[in-house]
Amino acid sequence: MLTSDCLGINEEGHLTIGGVDTLYLAEKYGTPLYVMSEDKIREIAKSYLGSIKKNYNGNGVPIYASKAFCCKEICRIIDSEGLDMDSVSAGEIYTAIKAGVDPKKLHFHGNNKTYGELEYAIENGVGDIIADNFEDIIRVNEIGEKLSKVVDITLRIKPGIDVHTHEFIRTGQIDSKFGFALENGEAEKAAQMASQLKNINLNGVHCHIGSQIFDAEPFVFASEVMLGFIKLIKDKFGIEIKNLNLGGGFGIKYLESDPFLKYEVYMESVSKAIHNKCAEYGLNIPKIFIEPGRSVIGEAGITLYTVGNVKEIENVRNYISVDGGMGDNPRYALYQAEYTCVIANRMNDKADYKATIAGKYCESGDLIQENVSIVKPEAGEILAVLSTGAYNYSMASNYNRNVRPACVMIKEGQDRLIIRRETFEDLIKNDI
Ligand code: LLP
C-alpha cells in the first residue's frame, strides 16, 4: 500500500512520513497540506551524484528539473547536495537565485523563451542556455553581442524516440514543440548556425525523451543517437561537443504495483553504451548530465486532506469529498494519473470500500482518483494521497479562489513550514 520507504504506519495505526505522525501534522498545520521528506530528497540526490561518480568517474552532474517542485527551500536543499538546476522560466531562475543558487549552475530550457527572459538569464550569468529553436540561437547571439559576452549554449535535439507514456507528456518524437529534429536536417542546420556566430559557444547537446519511463532501453538508444549527432558535428564543423545532457523522465511509484526502476540499472546501461559508442566514433567521453525531476521529489511527498462528506449513490458510485482537489493536484483531471489514497488515521483497517475521491472545486472532472478501494471514512477523518511530491504544488492554481495549501518539510523527525498557506489577502493582492 505504501509507495515509498519514507512512509510508515505507527502503533496507533496512523500513516507517518519521515517518522512523523500525519495526524499530528494535519492538526498542527491544517489541511490540505503538502508534506515532504527532506531525508528522502537528500538520499535520492546523493544516489544520483554517486552514480555519476561511479559510472563516469565524476565527469558529470545531475540537474534537478525544478519544474517538478520549485520553491526557495527545495532549491536550497538541492543546491546543498551539489546538483545543478533546470529552469524553464525567468520565474524559476529568479526563485533559484533568491534561494542563493549560483546562476552558473542553472540550465535554462523552454520552447518559447521570450527575449526578456533570455536577456534576464544572460545578464544574471545563467551557465547554460538550451537553444530550442533558431530564434533562440539568433537572440542569444544578439544579447551576447550587446553584453560583450560569449554565451554557452546547448542544442535541444529530438532524437525521434516514441516512448509509451501519456501523450501529453511525451516530448521525444518529431511531432513535438520541443527542440530540433534530426530526421529533417534541422538539428544539423542549427549546429551549423551556432558554429558560425561569434557570441555563441556551442557547448552541448540535449535530449529529453519523455516522462514516467520505466525502461532503460529508450535511454540507451537516445544516448547512441545523440553520440551519432556529436560525431556529425565534429566531422562537419570541426567542433567537439563537451556536454551531453540526456534529460530526465525516470518513473516513480504511484501505486504499490508500479514497477521499480533501479536508477542504477539505467545509469549502468547508458554508461556502457556511451563508452562503447565513443570508442567506436573516436570521441572523448563528454561530460554527462541527467535531468531528473519527478524521481528526485515525487515519492518524497504526500498530500493530506480532511474528508468533508461521503455521498452514496446507490447502484452508481460512492463519492468521498475532500477539502482540496484539482487546485492542488490537477494530475488526475489532466492525465488520469494514478495515485494511492489511504485513510491516514486507520491504516490497519480493511480497505474494502469502493469509492471515487472528489475535490471541492466546482467542476465534475475535479476528481483525485476514481473507483479505488479504501477504508470507509467518516467526515473529519484524514485522507492521504501518496507520491504527490512532483508536479502537484508546481501545477497548483487558485481556481474558485481557493488558497494554495501550505507545505511542511520533515527532517530527522522534525517538522517545519517551508511554504505558508495562502491567505484571502494573497488572493486579491493583484486585483485593482
Ligand atoms: N528535462 C526536460 C527538458 C523536461 O522537459 C522535463 C520534464 C524534465 C527534464 C524532467 O522530467 P521528469 O524527470 O520529471 O520526468 N506535468 C507532467 C510532467 C511534465 C514533464 C515535463 N518535462 C506530470 O505531471 O506528469
Ligand 1 atom nearest to CA at 206: 3
Structural contact between residues 431 and 398, judged by C-beta atoms closer than 8 angstroms = no
For ligand 1, whether the C-beta of 105 sits within 6 Å is no
Q: Percent of the chain having pLDDT more than 70?
A: 97
Render pLDDT for 55-101 as a digit per residue (tens, 0 to 9): 999 999 999 999 999 999 999 999 999 999 999 999 999 999 999 99
The Å distance, Cα 36 to ligand 1 centre, comes to: 19
With CA atoms as reference, report the closest residue to 223 among 289, 273, 167, 283. 273
The pLDDT assigned to 171 comes to 52
Averaged over 279-293, what is the pLDDT?
97
Ligand 1 atom nearest to CA at 211: 15
Pocket test for ligand 1, best of 88, 128, 291 (most atoms within 8 A of CB): 291
The Å distance, Cα 155 to ligand 1 centre, comes to: 18
Per DSSP, the three-state class of 324 is coil
For ligand 1, whether the C-beta of 330 sits within 6 Å is no
For ligand 1, whether the C-beta of 323 sits within 6 Å is no
- Identify the band that residue 168 occupies on the pLDDT scale cut at 50, 70 and 90: very low
- Identify the band that residue 15 occupies on the pLDDT scale cut at 50, 70 and 90: very high
Averaged over 8-14, what is the pLDDT?
98
Averaged over 126-148, what is the pLDDT?
98
User: 121 CB contacts (<8 Å, ≥6 apart)?
Assistant: 90, 93, 103, 106, 108, 113, 129
- Identify the band that residue 217 occupies on the pLDDT scale cut at 50, 70 and 90: confident
Cell digits for 397?
Answer: 492554481
Averaged over 381-407, what is the pLDDT?
98
For ligand 1, whether the C-beta of 331 sits within 6 Å is yes
Tell me which residue has its CA closest to atom 16 in ligand 1: 391
The pLDDT assigned to 262 comes to 74
For ligand 1, whether the C-beta of 169 sits within 6 Å is yes
Ligand 1 atom nearest to CA at 391: 24
Half-sphere exposure of 306 (CA within 13 A, CB side): 14
The pLDDT assigned to 172 comes to 54
Averaged over 37-59, what is the pLDDT?
96
| pLDDT of 183 higher than 90 | no
Ligand 1 atom nearest to CA at 169: 19
User: 285 CB contacts (<8 Å, ≥6 apart)?
Assistant: 56, 59, 274, 275, 278
- Identify the band that residue 264 occupies on the pLDDT scale cut at 50, 70 and 90: confident
DSSP string, 384-431: EEES-SSSSGGG---GGGPPPPEEEEEETTEEEEEEPPP-HHHHHTT-
**What average pLDDT does the chain have?**
95
The pLDDT assigned to 164 comes to 60
The pTM of this model reads 0.97
User: 167 CB contacts (<8 Å, ≥6 apart)?
Assistant: none
| pLDDT of 167 higher than 80 | no
For ligand 1, whether the C-beta of 359 sits within 6 Å is no
Averaged over 112-135, what is the pLDDT?
98
Pocket test for ligand 1, best of 168, 211, 296 (most atoms within 8 A of CB): 211
The Å distance, Cα 249 to ligand 1 centre, comes to: 6
Q: Which residues are catalytic?
A: 362
For ligand 1, whether the C-beta of 163 sits within 6 Å is no
For ligand 1, whether the C-beta of 18 sits within 6 Å is no
The pLDDT assigned to 92 comes to 98
Ligand 1 atom nearest to CA at 171: 5
Tell me which residue has its CA closest to atom 19 in ligand 1: 169
For ligand 1, whether the C-beta of 287 sits within 6 Å is no
Longest dimension (CA), the chain: 72
